[in-house]
Every structure is written in C-alpha cells, then in structure tokens.
Amino acid sequence: MKTSQTEILGDLYNLLLNPATRDWERAQLRVAKTAIDDGAHFDDQIAKLEALLRPLALRDNLTPDVTDFYLKITDDPLAGSSFDLSIHYEQDGPHQARAIFAGGCFWCMVEPFETRPGIISVISGYTGGHMENPTYEQVVGGYTGHVEAVEIIFDTQIWSYKELVELYWQLTDPTDAFGQMADRGDSYRPVIFVANEEQHQIAEQSKRDLAESGRYKHPIVTAIEPATTFWPAENFHQQFYQKNPRRYKKLKRSRQQFLAFQRMQTKWRRGWKIWGKD
C-alpha cells in the first residue's frame, strides 16, 4: 500500500527534529519540506529528494531512521513491515525465558539464534548504559555507556540457558575486551547480561569451563553483568540479515573466517604441545 502524503510530511517533520539525523540529511529534507509547504508539486519534490539520498542509500550510508524513510518513499516492501516489538514489552508466557548477550555489532548476532527452532524472538538493542531511549548514533558515539546487544526470548522446553551461553561462545571472541573483530570500542565489548542468580551461576561456570578447556591462549575476558533496561534499537537494525542480505553475508563471512582461524590456531597449539612431549 502506498504511503500517504500526510504520513510522508509527518516523517519529514520528525526527521528534521531527530537528533540522530545528520546535518547533510537534514539539509536535504528541509529543502524538500519547505518547497512542499510553499506549494511545489509533492511528487516532484519527493522524487528530487529520493535522487539526492540514493547514492548514500545504495552504499548503506544513511542514518537508520532516514534509511527507513528512504525505503518508504521508494515503496520498498521492507518499509511497510515495521518490526513488531510487542513481545519485548509483554510478560513471558509459560516455558519462556530471556537471555541478553552482547558480542560486537548486533547485526551479526541475530541470525545465528533466530533461525533455530525454539527461539521465539531475537531483538537488537542497547543495554548497560546510563541514558534512557538511546539512539544508535549516541551509542556508537560512546555517549551513553550502552553496548549493542540482542535480547533472545526462547522456549525453555527446547533450549536451556546453558545451551544458549555455549552457542554464544561459538559466535564471539571471548579474549577481546575492546570489541569484536572489526568492531572496535566500548559499545562492542562482549558481555553476558544475567537476569537472576541462576543465570549468573550458569554463566560463571560456563566461563570457567571455557577458560579451563585450553581453547584460547589468552584469558577469557567476556564480562558477566546484571541485566539492566534493554532498549530496542531502531527498526532499520531489526533483522538486518533479512533486510540487507548481501551486506550481511560479507560481515558474516569475515566474522566466520576470523573465528575459524582462531580455532585453527588452537589446534596448532595443541598439536605442538603433544609433539613436544614425544
């Protein structure tokens, strides 16, 4: 269904006020809105605006909310399907529980969990900081103390919390306290956020087991912290692997290659130890 003029004008107004909108983006949006308010042809102005935004949109270089707006004015089917966050605000039903993990950019943390049976929902968001309703720009700018994380709602009849923690270890580098792979900075540090004492004990024991396994040459530095408010991220970031499959595949491949090389180093190290004993 095509978006109405009233809705697009409302979006333009909100984006002009949005602190996350870049100055260049705001300038283009303001020109379009001013022209429409002065009586210029609506479709012509939106077409001009689309043409100006297109180069950055094709390079995935617009800010998240402007990206959603671009998808809307180009009548992209993804624009009409805002991510349903209602389950995040609901109480967990029978046989449901939540796990919150931070492991670098949340774009790469959704698909490995969401595509498995028994995972009810995976939401990208921000947690562990000191500001309410943080935006993506504020978080990556290091202004809020938050990390990018995923909230996983799972069926406890199919998954145990321990199994989720074990899967989490396979997706991250637990020896890197300053980010993950190419994602550097405090907002990308690896953290397991525990909701209660049971989760805390499971996570701590799993971390000890990993440290004693000999899989890593360096210490396990992934933090285990109490869960605080989890703020869902903007719609653009939800299910990124579905919205931007080509870009996601490149990110996933790079991440997998790094982790595979790390595992290969472990095998070499163990092999040398065995050889040295002979």
Q: Decide if pLDDT at 1 tops 50.
A: no
State residue 204's pLDDT score: 98
Burial of 219 (C-beta count, 10 Å sphere; 0-12/13-18/19+): exposed
Note the pLDDT tens digit of each residue in 129-164: 999 988 888 898 888 999 999 999 999 999 999 999
Note the pLDDT tens digit of each residue in 21-38: 899 999 999 999 999 999
Sequence-ordered list of residues with C-beta below 8 angstroms from that of 27, at least 6 positions apart, any chain: none
Contact 106, 150 (CB under 8 A): yes
Domains of the chain: 5-80 (no CATH), 86-237 (3.30.1060.10)
Residues known to be catalytic: 105
Contact 186, 147 (CB under 8 A): yes
Cβ atoms within 10 Å of 42's Cβ, excluding its own:
14
Q: Which residue, 210, 239, 238, is CA-closest to 224? A: 210
Q: Decide if pLDDT at 278 tops 60.
A: no
